[in-house]
Amino acid sequence: MNMPKSSSLEEFYRKAAATLPPGISKEIGHFNVFETEKLFNRETGSRIMPYNRRSYYKISLVEGRNKAEFADKVDAADPNYDKAGPARVRSLVLLRAPGWPLGPGDADAGLASARRAVELHPEFPPNQLALGEALAKTGDANGSRQAYERARDEATTYVANEDREGWLHEANQALQRK
């Protein structure tokens, strides 16, 4: 499956039932507030805001009892998307975010998601890197080292490019700290 194209701020305004502010392209930054129940997609009439890639930040203020879902929805639809990307992203969010009450951080849940990513695509270096980070955060130094070594070894099987170099750098940096 191909990675979906990132949507721009201008596309959001074009598709949404919202008016593009005049002079937006001249602004250094842009901030706006919308009530999501009043927004809808002009093309489909839908009132949902799906998980998608954006070239801008979307910040949400949520009131009442709600559950924020992002990678979980993509995982349910296609767990192999981007070589287990939903499980990998969920893992990294849970590992790097602060814990309750400030955020969703949960190292054990992050470890479970990293393990799921590796179960689906063990050959993909970013999954091994996420597992290494999760194992380190949960106190398994030996397992963490093994995952980082596997990430490094798997990365060397890829054609030299920016991604490969980044994976190798991250794995080597982590191994030097061990």
Q: Going by C-beta distance under 8 Å and a sequence separation of 6 or more, which residues neighbour residue 82?
A: 1, 3, 88
* C-alpha pair distances (Å), 108 with each of 66, 68, 74, 84, 112: 22, 19, 21, 18, 6
Determine the Cα angle at 153 with ends 148 and 159, to 5°: 125
Q: What residue segments make up the domains of the chain, in order of their start?
A: 1-63, 71-177
Whole-number pLDDT of residue 67 = 46
pLDDT, tens only, 36-49: 666 666 667 665 55
- pTM of this prediction? 0.63
Superfamily of domain 71-177: Tetratricopeptide repeat domain (1.25.40.10)
What pLDDT, on a 0 to 100 scale, did the predictor assign at position 56? 56
- pLDDT tens-digit readout, 77-120: 778 888 998 899 889 989 998 888 877 889 999 999 999 999 99
